[in-house]
Structure 1
């Protein structure tokens, strides 16, 4: 299936502080990482974002261009490029602090009728850009599959009750939703994870997936539930693992010929064997990513080797 993907959301610089105090700078941002992962898997991916025409912006722009991601017009119109500081503990798990602003340029231009429009994390809910993102998703539903990863950032999203309202508004617009168990625990404290996600499935998505890090992933569809295990690897850090999984999820549905609004009914009735195969591949993609530093998803030849 030909066509292209449009990813909307933040692109920034991750400053990674390791447990021993060393510091490194990596291009990042959850939606940017998804676009990168798709491009490395051989997909035509464009990113609509909000960066400055500065040294950090050039670092991110060049990193994306090296893997074939196209930046949409207006993506470099911010006054400065945002920065996220990820502090790693001894296990490689990250906590985040942000110096970030988010908007969409009035001059933003994208190619028409993508196969899929993906958004997530900060750019989907942080104002003033969040409302513009939702409007673009609403407009795209007539032609495109909508995918979403809440990828919660508590330090930016504030009150989880209010954040959940914003998140579930986008869930209801989406065909594919991927979320981590940690995100669900923050958005719905004390609630049963499966019941929360079955509730999301009832809002309209055809596929809802939860990731549990090294414990694997679970998907729910109208056909039932699928569980897959994560491959065992030596973890360097977890930065970008969920984004790599998300890129693999979109790519897997793409490979199955189920992207685009015209395929919405077929996506809703996708058989569980297909779901399982897609999730197992996603888990391998995420495992490769956590085995090396930074948000560095595998290429298609690397994955298929």
Structure 2
């Protein structure tokens, strides 16, 4: 692994109000980018999250959660309430969301340039903050690798054609892209996920990763796709599973020296054996997360244990 790799995540924090039938509501810190930052810090990386948090109880809960893992939280001084989402879980632990979110991210100065930038989800499509996110990525990508996860929330995406354009703009700025098969189905109805991923790969990324829930995941490389099976897990809920997959992906790429300005050229030559190892780590990270409540990604020991079970 690189001796020091500064990771910057740009995006929203969300207080997830988890609602189960015949049970009291539970509030969990959430938001896809925040979950990725938390997962990276849990795995030992120097991680900064550029976000917005209100001066309210939910904001204090989320900040404490992130800083306890070692995330450096940077905000733009917004006074808007902390975003929230009611998360309804069905009998199989699958989640649906109802959001109450304002995203108005403004510019924030950074003391040191990051080696890698991750963004996506609500932050990359919700204006006026989305414009600031894209501008930040554009300004940083010359000296940093970039990853992107659209993490599609249909009720927040706005007009479909415009949302697709925004997603494709972020894909074109990125070296690593991760999406779910459900994300791709919403963006490109009726198109096979592998074909949609190949379309994205042709616009600039070195690799596109696609998750398929219990059916595993695949990576699309210039040499073609490769797949891995999902790691068996007793599912409690799926909250944060995709985010744990993303943090596991970045963790594995960093371990192979494929992130940061010095790693970009090697990332562009990513071989199938290394890509498969990345998928294994990402899938194991997701498997740990679905086996417990909320977005709770693994620490290094838990990830090693999960990999040992494969």
TM class by smaller structure: over 0.9
How far apart, CA to CA, are the structure 1 residues paired with 2:301 and 2:247? 15
Give the secondary structure class of the aligned counterpart of 1:47: strand
Check conservation: 1:222, 1:269, Cα contact below 8 A.
no
**Is this contact kept in 1: 2:288–2:302, CA < 8 A?**
no
The equivalent position to 1:33 in structure 2, one of 24, 32, 35, is 35
What is the match of residue 245 of structure 1?
245
C-alpha contact (below 8 Å) 1:122/1:153 kept by paired residues: yes
**Following TM superposition, by how much is the alpha carbon of 1:160 offset from its aligned partner in structure 2, in angstroms?**
2.5
Q: CA offsets, 1:112-135, max 9 Å, x none?
A: 221110001000111000001001
Q: CA–CA distance in 2 between the matches of 1:76 and 1:30?
A: 21
For 1:35 and 1:118, the matched residues in 2 are separated by 9
* Residue in 2 that maps onto 1:95: 96
2:68 corresponding residue in structure 1: 66
Matched, 1:84 2:85: yes
CA distance in 2, matches of 1:100, 1:48: 16
SS of residue matched to 2:263: helix
Equivalent residue number for residue 263 of structure 1? 263
Whole-angstrom distance in 2 between the partners of 1:76 and 1:215:
42
Shift of 1:282: 0.8
CA deviation map 1:223-267 (0-9, x unaligned):
332100111111000000000000011111111101113332210
> 1:46·1:69 contact (CA, 8 Å) conserved in 2?
yes
Contact 1:143 1:262 in 2 (8 A): no
Q: Which runs of 5+ in 1 are unaligned?
A: none
Question: What is the rounded CA distance, in whole Å, between the counterparts of 1:71 and 1:109 in structure 2?
Answer: 13
Residues 1:86 and 1:298: Cα distance change in structure 2 (over 3 Å):
same
TM-score (norm 2): 0.95
Could you tell me the TM-score, scaled by structure 1's length? Answer: 0.96
Residue pair 1:39, 1:45 contacting (<8 A) in 2 also: yes
Aligned-pair CA distance for 1:158: 2.3
CA distance in 2, matches of 1:79, 1:282: 34
Give the gaps of 5 or more residues in structure 2: 306-310
Aligned-partner Cα distance in 2 for 1:45–1:75: 17
SS of 1:142 mapped into structure 2: helix
1:193-243 deviations in whole A, cap 9, x for unaligned? 211110100000001000001111000112332100111111000000000
Counterpart in the other structure of 2:44:
42
Which residue is equivalent to 1:180? 180
Correspondence list, 1:135-174, <5 A? 135-174=135-174
Aligned length: 303
Give the SS at the match of 2:96.
strand
